[in-house]
Structure 1
Amino acid sequence: MKQNILPAIRLTLLCAVFFSGIYTLFIFGIAQAAPNNGKGEVIEYNGKKYYANIGQKFDRDEYFWSRPSAVDYNAAGAGGSNKGPSNPDYLKTVQERIDNFMKHNPEIKKSEIPSDLVTASGGGLDPNISVQAAKVQVKRISKIRKINENKIQELIASNTEKPLLGLFGTEKINVLKLNIALDGLK
């Protein structure tokens, strides 16, 4: 037993030094080389600062709506609802989101609503929506802002982010950037 305890203590101390010191400094060093020193992409708009990598709440009809947030867009406490797809409370919440979306977008059929417009992401702060989620909102925005639908479609295309290396992930659109570009169409 004595011959096992000493190596275990040494290994524990070595891991503690490595993971709380060396590894932490290594990751911190990589972050310093990243844009904005690893603090995320900051966008200044109308005198306010926004983080492009954190979901923002957009629910006014003249803007593209964000993905719902289980934490009400509070970046201090990211997280999902932790309710399963058969949970009655969760199903009620999703149905309320569907009903609200259809009320504001009457020309859209229920089957055309992408899931990312009525379900929150696992972290609750997803800043992106799918291309389809943006496209189903075009009619509403075009009507309210009196902008040609084709111009808004072009805006969606120019703000679409491709998958990483063309392989990893799906096409997506950052809602904050898209809405700022939408304001620029005036």
Structure 2
Amino acid sequence: MSRSISAERAASLPALISLRTALVMILLCGGVYPLTVTALGNLLFPEQATGSLLTDNGAVVGSRFVGQSFQSAYYLQGRPSAAGYDPFSAGGSNLAVSNPALRERAEQASQALQTRYNVLAKDIPVDMLTASGSGLDPHISPESAHLQAERIAQARKMPVAEVHSLIEQHTEGPELWLFGQPRVHVLQFNLDLDARKSMP
């Protein structure tokens, strides 16, 4: 009798070990680890852990890493977005350079920009014609920003030199002086623009 009980216990031992291991792993990976990482993130990197939010007069107006659509002539406008700047639909158009649809879209955008800014096609920065890989890029090139300076100055009735100067102030260099290109953060520029010169 005792031998059969011992045999039954021995047979159930692997199942108990597996159950205990699963419970411990669930507790560690589903509770302790996420809570610890979240707490450390909030402690060491409070701004990044909360989304790198940007505020204006105490109100959250966006994130440092997510672009927004600006259509008004009073503002600096970002690059095209295949996702409509929707974080839940982030992604590029997935169209190859050889795709006729991409070429047609770029040509249409080029024609519109040539008319709007009275420039030649070769003078239009490429980031004004193409969407970023994520569709959420909050930056544009300094060349794209300077191209829009005259429009902004006319709309806000301010000297165009002041707009150019503000663009220069907002031009960020490559990360660690090595990675990436010079760029202008569209939302931060527009917030500063509103603070300096309100719309008529």
TM-score normalised according to structure 1 size: 0.80
Instruction: Rate the CA distance shift 1:60–1:21 in 2: closer, same or farther, 3 A.
Output: same
Q: Per the alignment, in what secondary structure is the counterpart of residue 184 of structure 1? A: helix
Percentage of matched positions with identical amino acids: 34
Residue matched to 2:110: 98
Listed as ranges, the matches of 1:3-152 within 5 Å are 28=38, 31-32=41-42, 33-36=44-47, 38-45=49-56, 48-52=59-63, 53-106=65-118, 108-152=119-163
> What is the SS of the residue equivalent to 2:60?
strand
- Indicate how the Cα distance of structure 1 residues 19 and 132 shifts in structure 2: closer, same or farther if over 3 A, else same: farther
Corresponding pairs, count: 172
Alignment gaps of 5+ in structure 2: 1-21
Deviation at 1:25, TM superposition (A): 6.2
Output the CA distance in 2 between the equivalents of 1:112 and 1:30: 48
* In structure 2, distance between residues paired with 1:167 and 1:21: 39
Return the offset for 1:100.
2.4
1:61 to partner: Cα distance: 1.7
Shift in CA distance, 25/174, structure 1 to aligned 2, threshold 3 Å: same
Instruction: Output the aligned Cα RMSD.
Output: 2.6
Structure 2 residue identity aligned to 1:65: Q
- In the other structure, the counterpart of 1:157 is 168
Give the aligned residue type for 2:91. Answer: G
| Cα deviation digits, residues 114-144 of structure 1 (max 9, x gap) | 1111100000000001111111111221222
Deviation of 1:55 (Å): 0.7
Task: Evaluate the alpha carbon distance shift between residue 184 and residue 90 of structure 1 in structure 2; reply closer, same or farther with a 3 A threshold.
Answer: same
User: Which residues of structure 1 form unaligned runs of 5+?
Assistant: 1-12
Query: Partners in 2 of 1:78 and 1:20 — Cα distance?
Result: 27
Equivalent position of 2:187 in the other structure: 176
Q: Is the 8 A contact 1:59 1:66 kept in 2?
A: no
Deviation, structure 1 residue 112: 1.2
Find the aligned partners of 1:28 and 1:96 in 2 and give their Cα distance: 46
Q: Normalized against structure 2, the TM-score is what?
A: 0.74
Q: Which has the larger Rg?
A: 2
